[in-house]
Amino acid sequence: MKRLVVVLVVIAVAVIIFLILGPFYIVEEGEQAVVVRFGDIIKSTTEAGLHIKTPIIDTVVKYPKRIMSWDGQPRLFPTEEQQFIFVDTTARWRIVDPELFYERLTTIESAFGRLDDVIESAMATIVAQNPIYEAVRTTNVINEIERGGPATTETVGDELEGIEQIAKLITTVEKQETVEKGRTVLSDEVLADAGRVVAGFGMELIDVVIRQIRYSDDLTNSVYDRMVSERQRIARAYRSLGEGRKELILGELVREKNRIISEAFATSEQIRGEADAVAAQTYSGAYRQDPDFFEFWRAIESYREILPRFQKTLTTDLQYFEYLYSETGQ
C-alpha cells in the first residue's frame, strides 16, 4: 500500500512537472504557428485551439493570419521620358505558408524589409517602362468632356474675317495623350511582378495601390511653364478677338458716320438749291420792277465786299467801276 502511494506521488509529481514544462500551446483566432525543434520545423498549425508540443525542446513561433498593410515611403522614379516623379505606394499582404515564411524570413520585421525591396523594385521597373501620363491618369475622360467658351461667331458677328478661327482657338482645349493602361493597370502589373517574388517567401500580395504621385521640382516647374504658356496662348487669342471686335465696331461707326454725312450733305444741297431758286426768283422779281436800281444795288453790294480788300488798281476805266467814278456817283 505504501509502495502504491509512492508510485502515485511520483506519477503526480511527473505530471505536474510535465505540465509546468508546457506541453500545450494555444493558437488564437487570427494566428498561425510553427513548431520548431533545434532549428528544424516540426509542424505548422493554422487552426485556432489548444495544441501539443514536446516540452523544452520544441519552440512555437506565432504569426498573424490576418491581412496586414505595407506603407512605402515616397520614392523618386524615372519614367519612360526620363522625367522623375515621386510615387507613394501602399499594399496589403498576408502569410499563407508559415513554414516557408519561417525558413526564408523568420520575423515580421524581415518581411516588411523584403516587401520594401520587392515592391519598390517592381514599381521602378514598371514606371520606367511607361510614359508619365500612364502613371498620372487612369482614364481618358478628360478628352471626352465637351468644353465651350464665351466667344463664338454669333457674339462678335460674322463680318469679321477670321473670327471663327479665333473663336475655335479659344474654345478648343488641347487634347491630352490617350491613356492605354492608366494608373490602375500599372498597379496591377506591379502586383503581378512583386506577387511572384513574395510568393517564394510564403506570403501572398493581395493588392498594390499607387496612393499618390507627385512631380519632382524640375518637372513641376516644367508643368507650370506649360500651363503659363497655355494661358498666354488663350490670352493672346482673347486679345486678338477683342481687336477684331474693336475693328468691327469702328468700321460700323465709320460707315454710319459716312451715311449720316452723306444724307446731311444731300439734304443741305437740296435746301440750298431750293433757297437759290427762291433767291433767283426774288432777284428776278426785283429786277423786273426796277432794272436800273437793281443793277446799282448789286454794284454797291459788290463794292462793299471787294473794296476793303482792294489794294491797288492800274485803271478805273473798267465797267466794274461804272457807279464808283461815274457822274451819277459823283
* Contact predicate 324/303, CB 8 Å: yes
The rounded distance, in Å, linking the Cα atoms of 283 and 225 is 84
The three-state secondary structure class of 164 is helix
Sequence-distant (≥ 6) Cβ neighbours of residue 81 within 8 angstroms: 131, 132
The pLDDT tens digits of the residues spanning 242-285 come to 888 889 899 999 999 999 999 999 999 999 898 988 888 887 77
Residue corresponding to grid cell 494555444: 26
Q: pTM above 0.75?
A: no
By the 8 A CB rule, do 61 and 102 touch?
A: yes
pLDDT band at 306 (very low <50, low <70, confident <90, very high): confident
Question: For the domain with range 68-140+176-215, which CATH number is right: 3.90.740.10, 3.40.50.1370, 3.30.479.30, 3.30.470.10?
Answer: 3.30.479.30
- The position carrying cell 522614379 is 77
The arithmetic mean of pLDDT across residues 289-301, rounded, is 76
Q: What is the pLDDT of residue 130?
A: 93
- Give tens-digit pLDDT for 149-205: 444 444 444 444 445 555 555 555 556 778 888 899 999 999 999 999 999 999 999
| Of residues 152 and 56, more confidently modeled | 56
Going by the DSSP 8-state scheme, the letter that residue 74 receives in this structure is P
Query: 109 pLDDT exceeds 60?
Result: yes
Cell numbers describing residue 15: 505530471
Between 78-82, 140-144, 239-243, 263-267, the lowest mean confidence (pLDDT) is in 140-144
Please choose, from the candidates 101, 119, 88, 112, the residue with its C-alpha nearest in 3D space to the C-alpha of residue 192.
119
- DSSP code of residue 221: H
Give whichever of 90-94, 164-168, 267-271, 294-298 has the largest mean pLDDT: 90-94
Q: Residue 143 in contact with residue 235, Cβ under 8 Å? A: no
305 vs 210, residue with greater confidence: 210
Band of pLDDT at residue 111, cut at 50, 70 and 90? very high
Decide which of 153 and 132 is more confident: 132
Cα distance between residue 262 and residue 268, in whole Å: 10
Give me the residue spans of the domains in the chain.
Answer: 2-64, 68-140+176-215, 290-330
| pLDDT category of residue 17 using cuts at 50, 70 and 90 | low
Q: Torsions phi, psi of 27, nearest 5?
A: -105, 115
Q: What is the mean pLDDT of the chain?
A: 80
